[in-house]
Amino acid sequence: NAGVTQTPKFRILKIGQSMTLQCTQDMNHNYMYWYRQDPGMGLKLIYYSVGAGITDKGEVPNGYNVSRSTTEDFPLRLELAAPSQTSVYFCASSPDGSEAFFGQGTRLTVV
């Protein structure tokens, strides 16, 4: 019963580096989401996908990219990391938008 799995759990990046946050789900869900969580700001939607091959921007997409080549995987790419991208990132999936299942999060620090 893996559910939604995010890797890595922690990462420190230097300014200007790039990295990919991995997210995979084994529930055959169509919907997948990426959020960032900052203290006092709640969760902000970065990108979401309603099925393989379909992605769309959320509230705060700048500085990020996603792809959805399979139902299971929804990686989030950070290009040219900036200190403003220091955050906790959560991936989630949903069968139809009626309930989201969350991963345990990735804590990213950009220095």
Partner 1 sequence: AQSVTQLDSQVPVFEEAPVELRCNYSSSVSVYLFWYVQYPNQGLQLLLKYLSGSTLVKSINGFEAEFNKSQTSFHLRKPSVHISDTAEYFCAVSDWKFQGAQKLVFGQGTRLTINP
Residues that bind partner 1 (CB under 8 A): 31, 33, 35, 40-45, 48, 50, 56, 58-59, 90, 92, 94, 96-105
- Alpha carbons 36 and 105: distance in angstroms, whole number: 9
Query: Do 82 and 25 form a contact (C-beta atoms < 8 A)?
Result: no
Please state the closest distance from residue 21 (CB atom) to partner 1, in A.
14
Please state the closest distance from residue 31 (CB atom) to partner 1, in A.
7
* Cβ density class 43-54: b for 16+ within 10 Å, e for less: bebbbbbeebee
CB-wise, 5 or 20, nearer to partner 1?
Answer: 5
| DSSP-derived 3-state class of residue 20 | strand
CB-wise, 31 or 64, nearer to partner 1?
Answer: 31
Query: Do 49 and 66 form a contact (C-beta atoms < 8 A)?
Result: yes
Please state the closest distance from residue 43 (CB atom) to partner 1, in A.
4
Identify residue 6 by its one-letter amino acid code.
Q
CB-wise, 40 or 111, nearer to partner 1?
Answer: 40
CB-wise, 9 or 15, nearer to partner 1?
Answer: 9
